[in-house]
Amino acid sequence: MGTFAITGSASGIGAATRARVEAAGHTVIGVDLRNAEIDADLGTPEGRQAAVDGVLERCGGTLDGLVTAAGVGPPFPAVPMASINYFGSVALLEGLHGALVASGDAQVVVVGSNSSSTQPNLHMDLVEAFLDGDEAKARQLAETYQDAYAPSKLALARWARRLAPTAEWAGAGVRMNVIAPGATLTPLLQAGLDDETFGPLIKGFTVPTGGFGSPDQIAAGIEFLLLSDARRFLCGTVLYIDGGTDALFRADAVPVPWVL
Ligand code: NAI
């Protein structure tokens, strides 16, 4: 049985994923602000380092999988959101890469969002600042635009897809994939629904299947990417579990034919 690190393990999608991974017989090292094996604030460089050090100590330098579910959404302030959602995820992915390689057979799931492709007209300079690893600039642009959520999630998906097929990841036995949930009823979504600005926007978002997703539905998708028999051939996939919203808004956008 393996050892898996899960960030955001204390609530919502991370907690539901933890339950499934443990039910499958594996050991979970949870990382969260509180109520986890490693309590750390992924919004700060010190917290991220403490999280990486804590996981490495607990797993003894060998990790069979990582799920980066820690995150915040609107109306949480955009500037710290930029730090938590993008840099708090990438720091763990980079900091634990060596331990994943040491496993020789590891699986990573990056938690993105369908907002990365269903929120129109994203600020692409913010996406680029994320991908450049420029936290100061990303925070400054998040302040300017008062927005960071969808750009942080698009950047995470791009970061993962750029690296997933490389020698350092797939070639080193570490398969990385992205899950893109739609609106899922967790404390994060409830805070948005309760907000007088964001609530009507979220409720107005069409979900063809009807209703919101449940944390366990998203966790079932993560379990597929993480533990299923398909896992060793899964690399660079972005798995949407969003009730059909992305397909509704952009039916022909996936797959995009390659024109040379
Ligand atoms: P949640 O609020 O239930 O869980 C998020 C967890 O992240 C919490 O336990 C929280 O304490 C932790 N966290 C927040 N800031 C942190 C920090 N600075 N350091 C360490 N941990 C921190 O929310 P949910 O919905 O389960 O979110 C999980 C992930 O799924 C997030 O990345 C979110 O962006 C993503 N997602 C959620 C959707 C939804 O509709 N609920 C839709 C698409 C993506």
What tens digit of pLDDT does each residue of 171-201 get?
Answer: 999 999 999 999 999 999 999 999 999 999 9
Q: Is 71 in the pocket of ligand 1 (CB under 6 A)?
A: yes
Atom of ligand 1 nearest to the CA of 83: 18
Joined tokens for residue 44: 């700060």
Distance between Cα 39 and ligand 1 center (Å): 15
Q: Is 73 in the pocket of ligand 1 (CB under 6 A)?
A: yes
Is 199 in a helix, a strand, or coil?
helix
- For residues 215 and 185, the answer to whether their CB atoms sit within 8 Å is yes
Verify whether residue 149 is a known catalytic residue.
Answer: yes
Amino acid identity, residue 218? I
pLDDT in tens, 4-41: 999 999 999 999 999 999 999 999 999 999 999 999 99
pLDDT in tens, 69-92: 999 999 999 999 999 999 999 999
Q: Is 246 in the pocket of ligand 1 (CB under 6 A)?
A: no
Candidate from 7, 11, 52 with most ligand 1 atoms within 8 A of CB, to mutate = 11
Cα dihedral 145, 148, 150, 156 sign: positive
Distance between Cα 71 and ligand 1 center (Å): 4
* Burial of 187: CB neighbours in 10 Å, binned 0-12, 13-18, 19+: exposed
Amino acid identity, residue 236? G
pTM of the model: 0.98
CA distance 217 to 12: 11
